C-alpha cells in the first residue's frame, strides 16, 4: 500500500489525518493521537429508523465498530430507489438484518447487531449499554417515545446514564439534524411545536364526499375501523391491520372513482410517515453521523453543548441552505421540565371537544388521550369498563369538571409518560 500504510489500516487513513492533528475549533485539552480511534472502535452505538442505510454506512466508515440497529420493517420494492443497501432479491426480508449483513461484508472489522422489531420492545437496561443513540425515525410518535426513554434514564449520580440522542428527519427537500443531551438541553418534546400536526379533514368530507385517495384511507382509519372492528385496538405496525385498512380504502376509492390508493400510501397516511428523497436523506444522515463523530472523538464541538446551537435546519428546494440555532429548553416540557404546561381553553368547551383538540394542538398531538385531575378521573379510553363509567363526562363543560388554573394529567397509550397541563379559562 502506498506511503507505507498497512492494508488493514488503509480504510482509516482519512480518520488518522483528522485525529493526529489539532483543528481551529479543537478543545484546548484535546490530545491528538490514535487513542481516539480506539475509543470510536470500542464505543457501542445504536442506530434506528428510516435513515438507517445512510446512517449505518456512515457510522461504519467513521470508525465505529460496534453498532446495533433496530428496524421493524421488511424491504418493499418502493425502498429500492433510495435505500441503497437493498437489492430486488432482498424484497420481503427484514431491513435491519439485510443492512447489517451488507455493511459487515463491505467494511471489514465492523460488527453490526440487528434487531427486527420496534424500539418500544426494548427496556431501559437495553438502552443503557450504548454510548449514544442515532435516530432517523420516520414518525413523530417514535421520536417522542425514544426521547422520553432517554430522559427518564438519566440519574444525576451516574454520568454514564446520560446518553446523547442525535435525531435526523426529512420532509421532501427539507430536513433537520439535532442533538439532545437529556435533561441538559432542549428535548424533542420541547421542540414538538416545530412539527405541525397533520391538517384535519372535516368528518363530513370523509363520510360523504371524499375527493382524494388520502380521504378514503382516513375514512377506513377513523370510521370503518370503529364501525367494524371497534373491539380491536388498531396497531399501525401490524401488517394485517394495515392490509385491512388498505382493502377498505381501495374499495371506497373505487366507489367514488378515485385512483391512487396504494398499500404504501395507506401506511404513510395512517402512521403519518413523510415521503423521502434520497439526496435529502444523504445530507441529513451525514450531518447526524458528523455529530456522532464529534461527540465520540472531541475533535470539534458538537451541536447540543449548552448555550450553543443544538438544531440544524436544511432546505434544498430552493438552492442549498443550512441554518443552526439554539432551541431553548422549556421549564414546562412534560418530559424534561418540572412545571405543568399552561393551556388556554374556553369555558364553553366540553371535555369531549377538548380531548379532540389534543390531536391538533402542536404542543400535544395526542391521538387517544385519557384525562384525570389529582382528585378524580375525568375520562379514560381504556379499559372498556372504565371508559363506560367516565363516558358521560365527555358532554359536560370543562368548567363543570375542572377549576380555573387546576392541573390535569393527560395520558396516551403511545407514550410512556403522562403529560401535565394547567387549564386556564379564557373567553
Q: What pLDDT sits at residue 363?
A: 65
To the question of pTM greater than 0.95 for the whole model, the response is no
Rounded distance between C-alpha atoms, residue 330 and residue 337, angstroms: 6
The predicted structure's pLDDT at residue 306: 63
Instruction: Name the residue among 162, 158, 193 with its Cα closest to residue 362.
Output: 193
Return the pLDDT at 4.
Answer: 41
- Joined grid coordinates for residue 294: 464529534
In the 8-state DSSP scheme, what is residue 105?
Answer: H
The size of the chain, in residues, is: 427
- CB under 8 Å to 129, separation ≥6 — which residues? 44
| Domain spanning 341-425: CATH superfamily | Ubiquitin-like 2 activating enzyme e1b. Chain:  B, domain 3 (3.10.290.20)
CATH of domain 203-271: 1.10.10.520
Please provide residue 179's backbone torsions phi and psi, each rounded to the nearest 5 degrees.
Answer: -120, 130
Q: Are 203-271 and 341-425 the same fold in CATH?
A: no
Query: Which DSSP string do the residues of 32-75 spell out, in sequence order?
Result: -STHHHHHHHH-EEEEEETTHHHHHHHHHHTT--EEEEE---B-
How much is the pLDDT for 273?
67
Contact at 8 Å (CB) between 12 and 37?
yes
CA dihedral 146, 152, 157, 159 (to 10 degrees): 10
- Per the prediction, the chain carries an average pLDDT of 86
Residue ranges per structural domain of the chain:
7-196+276-325, 203-271, 341-425
Lookup: cell for 230? 371497534
Cell (9 digits) for 339: 412545571
C-alpha span between 340 and 205 (Å, rounded): 36
Element (H, E) at 262: none
pLDDT of res. 7: 40
Cα 283 to Cα 50, 175, 177, 197: the distances in Å are 14, 9, 10, 25
Tell the CATH superfamily of the 7-196+276-325 domain: NAD(P)-binding Rossmann-like Domain (3.40.50.720)
- Catalytic residue positions, numbered: 204
C-alpha cell at 89: 432479491
Report d(CA 312, CA 55) in Å as an integer. Answer: 17
pLDDT score of 204: 64
Q: For the chain of 427 residues, list the mean pLDDT of each consecutive stretch of 10.
A: 46 80 82 82 86 90 94 84 89 93 93 93 94 88 90 90 94 91 92 69 70 91 89 85 94 93 88 76 94 91 82 89 90 84 88 84 76 89 85 91 90 78 87
pLDDT in tens, 16-30: 888 888 888 887 888
Amino acid at each position: 500500500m502506498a506511503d507505507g500504510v498497512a492494508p488493514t489500516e488503509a480504510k482509516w487513513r482519512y480518520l488518522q489525518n483528522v485525529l493526529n492533528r489539532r483543528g481551529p475549533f479543537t478543545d484546548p485539552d484535546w490530545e491528538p493521537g490514535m487513542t481516539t480511534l480506539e475509543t470510536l472502535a470500542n464505543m457501542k452505538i445504536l442506530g434506528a429508523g428510516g435513515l438507517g442505510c445512510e446512517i449505518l454506512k456512515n457510522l461504519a466508515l467513521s470508525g465505529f465498530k460496534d453498532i446495533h440497529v433496530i428496524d421493524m420493517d421488511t424491504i418493499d420494492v418502493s425502498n429500492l430507489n433510495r435505500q441503497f443497501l437493498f437489492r430486488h432479491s432482498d424484497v420481503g426480508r427484514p431491513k435491519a438484518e439485510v443492512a447489517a449483513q451488507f455493511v459487515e461484508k463491505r467494511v471489514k472489522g465492523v460488527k453490526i447487531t440487528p434487531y427486527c422489531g420496534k424500539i418500544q420492545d426494548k427496556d431501559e437496561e437495553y438502552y443503557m449499554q450504548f454510548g449514544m443513540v442515532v435516530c432517523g425515525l420516520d414518525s413523530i410518535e417514535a421520536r417522542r417515545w425514544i426521547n422520553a426513554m432517554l430522559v427518564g434514564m438519566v440519574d444525576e449520580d451516574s454520568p454514564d446514564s446520560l446518553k446523547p440522542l442525535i435525531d435526523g428527519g426529512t420532509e421532501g427537500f427539507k430536513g433537520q439534524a439535532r442533538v439532545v443531551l437529556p435533561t441538559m438541553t432542549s428535548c424533542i418534546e420541547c421542540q414538538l411545536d416545530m412539527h405541525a400536526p397533520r391538517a384535519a379533514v372535516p368528518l363530513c368530507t370523509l363520510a360523504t364526499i371524499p375527493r382524494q385517495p388520502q380521504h378514503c384511507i382516513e375514512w377506513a382509519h377513523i370510521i370503518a375501523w370503529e364501525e367494524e372492528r371497534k373491539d380491536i385496538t388498531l396497531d399501525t405496525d401490524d401488517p394485517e391491520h394495515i392490509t385491512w385498512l388498505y382493502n377498505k380504502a381501495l374499495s371506497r376509492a373505487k366507489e367514488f372513482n378515485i385512483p391512487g390508493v396504494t398499500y404504501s400510501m395507506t401506511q404513510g397516511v395512517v402512521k403519518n410517515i413523510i415521503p423521502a428523497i434520497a439526496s435529502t436523506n444523504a445530507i441529513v444522515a451525514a450531518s447526524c453521523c458528523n455529530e456522532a463523530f464529534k461527540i465520540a472523538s472531541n475533535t470539534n464541538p458538537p451541536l447540543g453543548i449548552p448555550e450553543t446551537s443544538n438544531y440544524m435546519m436544511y432546505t434544498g428546494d430552493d438552492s442549498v441552505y443550512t441554518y443552526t440555532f439554539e432551541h431553548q429548553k422549556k421549564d414546562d416540557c412534560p418530559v424534561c421540565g418540572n412545571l405543568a404546561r399552561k393551556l388556554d381553553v374556553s369555558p364553553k368547551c366540553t371535555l369531549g371537544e377538548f380531548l379532540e383538540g389534543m390531536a391538533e394542538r402542536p404542543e400535544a398531538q395526542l391521538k387517544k388521550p385519557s384525562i384525570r385531575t389529582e382528585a378524580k378521573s375525568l375520562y379514560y379510553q381504556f379499559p372498556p369498563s372504565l371508559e363506560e363509567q367516565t363516558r358521560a363526562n365527555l358532554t359536560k363543560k370543562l368548567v363543570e369538571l375542572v377549576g380555573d388554573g387546576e392541573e390535569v394529567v393527560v395520558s396516551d397509550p403511545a407514550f410512556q409518560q403522562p403529560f401535565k397541563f394547567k387549564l386556564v379559562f379564557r373567553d
